[in-house]
A and B are shown apart, each in its own frame.
Chain A
Amino acid sequence: MPKALHRLLLCLCLWLPFAAQASDAQDFASASANDRARLLQEWAAQPDPARLGLLGSLQQGRLGPDQPRTLRLNNRLRGLLDNALASQRLLSDDAQVRLQAAQHLQRRAQPTQLGLLERHHAAETDQAVHAALGLALANLQLVAAEPSVRLAAVRLLGESGDPLARTRLQALLEPAVESDEGVRTAARTSLDQVERKLLIGELLGQAFSGLSLGSVLLLAALGLAITFGLLGVINMAHGEMLMLGAYSTYGVQILVQRYAPGALEFYPLLALPVAFAVSAGVGMLLERTVIRHLYGRPLETLLATWGISLILIQAVRLIFGAQNVEVANPGWLSGGVQVLPNLVLPWSRIVIIGFALCVALLTWLLLNRTRLGLNVRAVTQNRNMAACCGVPTGRVDMLAFGLGCGIAGLGGVALSQIGNVGPDLGQSYIIDSFLVVVLGGVGQLAGSLWAAFGLGVANKLLEPQIGAVLGKILILALIILFIQKRPQGLFALKGRVID
């Protein structure tokens, strides 16, 4: 008999953690909204590893891992739940998980978690997590009773570059909120420190978005530099080649979704050759049918290609509709890297900057290291002499025009990942990319590179200071003044030719 009793007790003991969890779940399920909030606050203050599973499922609206989704949480409960979960994660063995939890608590910690944070702050061995917990603690200690604790907290907050620290410190400047004179002065110094850090983050963010705008401009302008430099053709339909590239991406996305849903993650890679082929094909067709007849008359090519762009826009509008189409970012392109508390670099933009540089490098290699490139450069420099030496100038023209348009198609793929895809997509980039070509000098890849990134960064840096529109106007004025000094652009070919 005692043996049986033993067994029973042992069983019960083994069941205990599950029983505890089950009762937690039951408590939560049966509680009213206010009691639920209280429960969550208690759990946040006294974390228990056993509850981790329950909290995870609560977050998904379930009472347990296998339960149906029955719970409806309001925003307040959701916030508390996240908080409780962060508390549990502080117990984790993985320093990375603890760091994330501490960062979450920096923003959201509740006064009831003060004790918990103090314990963990004292016990933490990992340096990064220790610092993060210190900041989280400092946030809570700002309302501590003793001025000395508050003073230390204020000083500590000065080290952080968090936008939230700024608002908290600003509140402390009011005598009504903070009675101690010393703490107020310390808050003022800390505020200055925080603001300086925030400013650095903002400037870096603007420079980064400028780089990303510049990389798009570069993709657009590379093709223009080739067609303009080689053929003397002003291709106003170049923006529409970007648009065709973006719509090709959309088409590839639809096809992959329908026939190979497993490969959806990598559809942008699949779209690259398709977009290049579509744009280059359309470009070569146009060159053979229309532009070929207009060589030597640049103003006429400008008008004819404008007509082509009107037709292309209207055709796309009739086929796909006038509304923007939806091109989704795959998983590996969404999200970003958190560099500073107020600076997140999105993956899509980082990838596009790299991509633009790769395309520029490939174009350079193509022009300088291949037979086709040699022919292209020969025709650019002296068409008649090249023809005499046996270069098939007509075919070189066609291929070069196709190449320029194809690069624009690649740019369209990149654009579809960071902006809206609509029939008017190309129009908004065409003027800027022409300015890049004008600024960089005709037919010069290095010039285009510098001009594209320079224009992009200048645009984005000026935007918050004086507004987007005034920034654009100022840049236009600067370009006009710059051309006074260097009429042939940044990197002009030296020569003595006058027409």
Chain B
Amino acid sequence: MNQPLLVTATQKAGPRLSLVIGAIVLLTLIALPLLSLLPDGHSLQVSAYILTLVGKILCYAIVALALDLVWGYAGLLSLGHGLFFALGGYAMGMYLMREAAGDGLPAFMSFLSWQELPWYWAGTQHFAWALCLVVLAPGSLALVFGYFAFRSRIKGVYFSIMTQALTFAGMLLFFRNETGFGGNNGFTNFRSVLGFDITAPGTRAVLFLLTVALLAGSLYLGWRLAQSKFGRVLTALRDAENRLMFCGYDPRGFKLFIWVLSAVLCGLAGALYVPQVGIINPGEMSPTNSIEAAVWVALGGRGTLIGPLLGAGLVNGFKSWFTVAFPEVWLFFLGALFIVVTLYLPKGLVGLLKKRDEP
């Protein structure tokens, strides 16, 4: 069969080359923030724009990885992961808004002439509580939704539709000014985090490194899970849930665990996304964003751990180039990508790169 030379070469090179490439990518990612600290005008300096862009894509890669854990391993296609991502982002945004406002109310509340903070803003001036919220808000929502959904054995497309409706409802809720999260505009105009200027190159570099660390950490976690017995049960659950039940396993606990874990990972990614990009608004919860995350995973290859990262990087890289160069064509491209990937790349790019003699 005819295939590009590059693909053949990679197939022949085997795992050693993959390891080398992985190491190079990791080193580049660590080097990027350090290079950005170089003085202005230096030929090797990485601009703040590039650093923010790559940081943003890394956050998306974490989302893709989290989605892959539930879709690729447990067979639950969630179309609502944008909601968990945004919840984590909003939790971090609350802290940043309080920090920017000092002792007063956040700017958008004064604008609405509110007199005092709503109860759910209590304690958000403390960084530690904000961090707890980053985990608790998406985690508890996923726990409640997952408990009811898995109890009544909602699966397949029903599950997808329900999660999509969930994120849609969340978006509508956060669009309202009365909800107390800045309505349409969301949170922006952050100044500092833990007293450090948020636009300073040093802060940006640290945030970037944290994102790389989180990504590496979740990758390691995912790898350990996939190797363990737990991962094998999940795969069995994806392929033949009824058989698994007849073997005496209760699938609900397994599903619920991976579902909540995935939501929490998304929340953490959102919390790192907000200070780097500098804005969070309800648009992040739109069903479009969540379903786009599904195509990152599908393009890279679901059921693999590297695939989603590859997919998220490629699609978002293309997106930031396309939307500047040919804004009209981007949606056509994205749409075609959805179709081509599902029709011709059922195992994604990773499946293409893997040796063909493997089953």
Contact = CB atoms under 8 A, between A and B. Distances in A.
Interface residues of B, number: 42
A431 B164 contact: yes
Nearest to A482: B152
A97 interface: no
Interface in B272-329: 287, 291, 294-295, 298, 328
Contacts, number: 107
B336 A293 contact: no
Contacts of A290: 339, 343
Given A314-B331, A484-B151, A434 B338 contact: no
Interface string B164-191: 1110110011011000000000000000
Interface centre among A302, A311, A434, by most chain B C-beta atoms within 10 angstroms, is: A302
A487 B152 contact: yes
B148 A311 contact: no
Interface stretch (B9-17, B91-99, B154-162): B154-162
Contact of A438 (B161, B335, B337): B161
Given A300-B346, A435-B165, A308 B339 contact: yes
Chain A residues touching B, range: 35 or more
Given A290-B343, A311-B335, A484-B148, A299 B156 contact: yes
Interface string A455-466: 000000000000
Contacts of A468: 172
Interface in A455-499: 467-470, 472-473, 476, 480-481, 483-484, 487, 498-499
Label chain A's interface by main secondary structure.
helix
Interface string A428-443: 0001001100100000
B148 A307 contact: no
A290 B337 CA distance: 13
A307 B332 CA distance: 8
B173 A302 contact: no
B149 interface: yes
A405 interface: no
Given A299-B77, A484-B148, A306 B291 contact: yes
A435 B166 CA distance: 11
A434 B336 contact: no
A301 B343 CA distance: 9
Contacts of B143: none
Nearest to A499: B242
8 contacts: A297-B342, A299-B157, A303-B338, A310-B338, A431-B168, A476-B165, A484-B152, A487-B154
Given A301-B342, A307-B339, A434-B165, 15 more contacts: A234-B157, A290-B339, A297-B342, A298-B156, A298-B157, A303-B291, A304-B343, A307-B338, A308-B338, A310-B335, A470-B173, A472-B169, A473-B169, A476-B165, A480-B145
